[in-house]
A and B are shown apart, each in its own frame.
Chain A
């Protein structure tokens, strides 16, 4: 009997613990929790060049990574206070839902299903992408429509799988997908010649071609895009303050580019600028921070830490980076692109 009751007690304890885990601290307090903890838990990829990838010393870099740094600088006053949590495409949503990460900056496509049914809010788009195809040059393919009966390698757990199915069904072309769980395995199989084409977002293809291919010139990225892939960070629903913080740090970086504020000149501008917009962004005239639960230097620190949106783009994915991607749709709205931020005021 005693043995049974100890076992029962243990079972009850375990169940109570499980129930406790099933009810993580409720929303509305993300910012307080972060300030108390002193770091932001930022969900990133396990390694996508240009967006979030660790180097050999374990330092993360990329567009998504810089976004997290900027938010940490704005919120905690120190860009380094980010704890990067690498997540694969299957884990990422559960990690955000469960509260393991405070935000997910993991080149994630904004779609209706994800926005409306997973308990998330997409903050804003930090990169306008589209799905394309990487093919060996020697196959002399110029359009995805020529991929009849081809085998296409793709990573599982992405919007890419569905787009491929939709596109070829709409065009009445039979293809075969070979779906891999890991990113690494999927592109290795492609470069080994298992598939005639590899598909993912064009930014990803550029990273693969320029970083992973033995000879990048043996491969071409087809010009046709088969989907819209707006990528951006997302947060849990139910904490509007934190949602606003993440959104506005990104908007501030975009405004900074629009008004010519850079990592290099932000100090000088803060001291001398007479432009009311610049003064407002940098908190020298108005205190916009208190509306966000932050102090008045929040945007200044973000720009100082990561640079403006254009600088972040150039550093990680732009023509001079490994990915060599043109600015294209990701240029400012005033320069013919889609990047637009509501005014910081």
Chain B
């Protein structure tokens, strides 16, 4: 009995952690390149979920088969999220590339506030029911009492996304350019790297992962609203910092640790203070190990 409860919490934490990881990956990529907390990242994730919901509802009403609906909705969510990510960078961050960090941060918060209220005005302030995009797999039936099929899909997707991103950064031309830009943007541009293009691509890739996350999580939870991105974004940021910001495996590791600790905390201690716990965790990490678990500690130079 005790062990069953433990296992339930463990698997719940695993799902939760994978959810955070999908958002944290985008955060960590953007932070790695331009050292900016992209507060609007959570909003991209929310926009991805909304676009997916709208497109899938329209298609379902038009009578398309389930599979086509899921594929088209997922593509639409990714495309529009990427478009938003790209545009946000051009409007709110690019003009501030050389400005003090404080300005870029304030601009990022403004963008987050703007996008939330844009969706609120354009759509609704109510919770919208989100259809379950992932069907129940037959082969998974024997294990379904421990973990549902959507949860399985979330975990597998997280692993795939992490592997793809690692390949992209480690072994491709653009990945090399990204690493160069994150080390020294000025030097990279002197050596022929188109820094603007690299930053744009980073935002697009980050937004794509956020959109996938948004779709999966929304269909797992079953409802969405305009505010869903904010707290999720902050928590994902906590996870990214915990793992060592700028590092892809670090983001996943940090997310899993956060997911498990939250799950065990709510299971064994109290569920009222779940968010309080996440923030306290963040404060403690930042005080004792600001570079995170897998991050490199850096010394400040003049």
Q: Say if A and B assemble together.
A: no
B residues engaging A (CB < 8 A)?
Answer: none
